Amino acid sequence: MHALFLRLSSLRFTVVLLLLSLMLVFAGTLAQVELGIYRSQQVYFESFFLWSELFGRTLPVLPAGYTIGTLLLVNLVSAFIVRFKVKGKHAGLLCVHSGLILLLLGEVLTDVLSVESQLRLVEGESKDYSESIFNYELAVARAIDSGQRVVAYDSQQLVEGAELSHAEMPLQLEVLKFWPNSMLRAQSTASPTQADSGIGAAVSVVALPLTGKLDERNVPTALVHCRVGGEDLGTYILSGHLGEADRIELANGMYAELSLRPQRYYMASTVHLDDFVREVYPGTNKPSHFESKLTLSGGELPADRKVAIYMNHPLRFDGKTFYQASFAGEETISILQVVQNPTWLLPYVSCLLITIGLCWQSLSRLKIRKGSAA
């Protein structure tokens, strides 16, 4: 076991991993031209291997971000175990290595646990949810006495042949086809529609390649067959391009609504946009300041709370951080970035440990040299 730790803690192993990291960053940066930032991040840094077509098969050709990061963590922990003893002269190095290990763990946990979304509000509008920038969900809403009961299926569940049902919903759904990125066009004889019911009966679907560019979005579309028990309720096209839900009549005057919409993240309180303020530099249309004046209400708040969000002045509330990201429309639509990251403190703690360790090590060396000179 000791021999294994010695190999894993090797400095040569560290150098090889750092070189692979440089190659990965270089390749990932170049790939952004074709794939875009978001897709490059997924392919090169949020995966274990880079895959390529070789000899008619898809094979791993190089380690990607998760693999290199895991091996660097193993290398650091092995060096921690093999080389350092709990002694005063090693305290600085132990602190530095602890900080590096915590930094790597923090990056992995942030990637896995953090959630980013957007809250888009028109002046006078209230919402208790934010929406994902990239991910979509198939939502089934049924009216009840106190409002609506909603069941949502993640887009990863929308694979061809999937059967979707829930105990609280009478509808049974079968996914006949799913397009991860698409556009809709008016029905024509050359491109007949696949749906026989709902809004989508007047359109046909055109498949598009996936994109990862910041100024483009993957907008999915699904072809779904609906039934209640043995009764056929028709086939519907549900798409992120459609601005309204399809209403399906059920028994006893009840109905259900189907839609494919950006994934929602609900909040404990309601956010109301009272006013959006935008100021520009004199003689230009370039914004110098824009600010959202909000009212938070409901949830565990004892009373309504007035807040303002503007550049470099975010709001931290309900375990989330709200940033003023942008605006749209006739300067009355505010776009807030909502970040939920339960591990946000780890990078600060790790950097503090590294700083303390380096200072300790430098001061101890200085003390030793002064003692030797005396």
Q: What is the largest CA-CA distance in the chain?
A: 96
Token couple for 334: 């505010």
> Which residues are 230's β-sheet partners?
none
Q: d(Cα 219, Cα 191) in Å, to the nearest integer? A: 20
pLDDT per residue of the chain (374 residues) written in tens, 0 to 9: 667 778 888 889 999 999 999 999 999 999 888 887 878 888 898 899 988 877 778 888 889 999 998 999 888 888 877 776 666 667 888 888 889 889 888 888 888 899 999 999 999 999 999 999 889 999 999 877 667 788 999 989 999 999 998 888 888 999 999 999 999 988 765 455 578 888 888 888 999 988 877 778 899 999 999 998 878 889 999 999 998 899 888 777 778 899 999 999 999 899 999 999 988 888 888 888 889 999 999 888 889 999 999 988 999 988 899 999 988 876 689 999 999 999 989 999 999 999 999 998 888 777 656 555 55
- End-to-end CA distance of the chain: give it in Å, rounded: 44
> 88-95 long-range CB contacts below 8 Å, 24 or more apart?
88/364, 89/364, 91/357, 91/360, 91/364, 92/357, 92/358, 92/359, 92/360, 92/361, 92/362, 92/364, 93/357, 93/361, 94/357, 95/353, 95/354, 95/356, 95/357, 95/360
* DSSP assignments along 108-130, one per residue: HHHHHH-EEEEEEEETT-EEEEE
pLDDT of residue 364: 79
Q: d(Cα 264, Cα 147) in Å, to the nearest integer? A: 17
Q: d(Cα 227, Cα 197) in Å, to the nearest integer? A: 12
pLDDT of residue 367: 64
Q: d(Cα 50, Cα 179) in Å, to the nearest integer? A: 24
Helix (H, G, I), strand (E, B) or coil at 208: coil
* Residues in contact with 247: Cβ distance below 8 Å, sequence separation at least 6, in sequence order: 255, 256, 257
Its pTM stands at 0.79
Token couple for 12: 């040569």
Q: d(Cα 202, Cα 5) in Å, to the nearest integer? A: 65
Going through the chain in order, the beta strands assigned E by DSSP cover 49-54, 57-63, 115-122, 126-144, 147-154, 163-166, 169-179, 182-186, 203-207, 221-228, 231-239, 246-249, 255-280, 287-297, 305-310, 315-317, 320-328, 333-340
